Amino acid sequence: MSAVLTVPAFWPRALAPDVLASVQTPTPYLITDLSTVADRYHRFCAALPGIRPHYAMKCNSSPEILRTLADAGAGFEVASLGELKMLQYIGVDPADVLYSNPIKPPSHVAAAHAAGLWRFSFDSPGELDKIAEHAPGSAVYLRLRVDDSNSMFPLSRKFGATEPEAADLLRRARKLGLRPYGLTFHVGSQSAVVSAWRGAVAAAGRIMAEADVTLTMLNIGGGFPSRYVADVPEIEEIGAAVMPAIDELLPYRPSLLTAEPGRHLVAESGVLVATVLGRETRDDENWIYLDVGAFNGMMETLQTGNTWEYPLWTSRSDHGLASFEKFTVTGPSCDSSDTMFYGVDLPSTIAPGDRVYIGSAGAYTLSYASGFNGFPPPTPVFVDHAGPA
């Protein structure tokens, strides 16, 4: 694979390499343009009118991002009590939050319910029993298993009830004194095919037609992709598939339509900035060592077997002019698996002290980052077009 040789058009102008050259923060740091986050939110709403985004905060729970989205009108989706507490800290009402983790600790269910959260997902009889005990009378929405084979991170093995199970689970919820409220699904993180949403909406429609209860909510989940290097469907393309599917494939239109975008709203807003610690040649292979690695920011490179391409640029004044060579790009730790990229094109002149800019790094970098081997996570830095946020 090779990195792009020009800064991509989707790289925020506020984070262009010539701008980053003036940032004084020590590396590694993740710099995020909050205006890009707000712009992505509004574009999402325009492409899927009537579908309210509930941000999946697991991909980046920085308070600055949460406040930006709250101010724009977003709802939120949580997977734990800890995430709910983060939202409460910035003033988000728990009643406006969805708890979409299908399997939850009982203590989290009870505490979330006590705080005023009233909508919980489930995908099994055991989870219904848990919710009925610890959050009696709550509204529940069923997580469906759908085709996620065209996504970077499939989720269907871990979560989701099958279509034949759905109607009985909704009836069981009612018998337990819970309110059968809706359906949700997830077509897999970084989904690359717009037809995935249409197929999932069709499955939801079949269940709605079979169930002997009128459901209030359809939640079309997450999976909306962001641009890295490979082309992905634009949100307008996805909207052009989803909106007709809702009209054509559902027996009735639920009064509440929601979605749970995460990566789509924040990935392209962030650039991870690292410094070259060393350059070596080993068995005719060029290596550069950065002060950020898989364990303190770039874990998704390992999760994908080092196949995920990120847009890369450097601080070299001759970047784009010098010849390029293939490099293996690795992290600072003593772990040999702490290697992010193989065979990427970088300037042949790159040297220790130069900086490498990793684009589209706003999602799952800070969330996954650890202090493994004593190397710190990236420092968060925020701008809002005109200057520091």
pLDDT at 171 over 60: yes
* Nearest C-alpha neighbor of 253 from the set 210, 212, 204, 211: 204
Dist CA 165 CA 144 (whole Å): 9
> What residue spans define the domains of the chain?
13-31+271-383, 61-261
pTM metric for this prediction: 0.92
pLDDT of residue 174: 96
| Tokens standing for residue 118 | 């009233």
Active site residue 334: yes
- Banded pLDDT at 388 (limits 50, 70, 90): very low
Strands 189-191 and 285-290 turn out to be unpaired
pLDDT at 193 over 60: yes
Portion of the chain with pLDDT greater than 90, in percent: 77
217-231: pLDDT as tens digits:
999 998 899 898 888
pLDDT at 151 over 70: no
CATH topology of domain 13-31+271-383: Lyase, Ornithine Decarboxylase; Chain A, domain 1 (2.40.37)
199-215: pLDDT as tens digits:
999 999 999 998 888 99
Dist CA 10 CA 24 (whole Å): 24
Contacts 24+ apart (CB under 8 A), 321-324: 322/347, 322/348, 322/349, 323/347, 323/348, 324/5, 324/348
CATH topology of domain 61-261: TIM Barrel (3.20.20)
| Location of structure tokens 């610890």 | 134
Least confident of 112-121, 170-179, 184-193, 326-335: 184-193
Which H or E run includes 198? helix 195-210
Q: Which of 46, 90, 209, 334 is catalytic?
A: 334
The residues that bridge with 29 in the sheet, in sequence order, are 273, 379
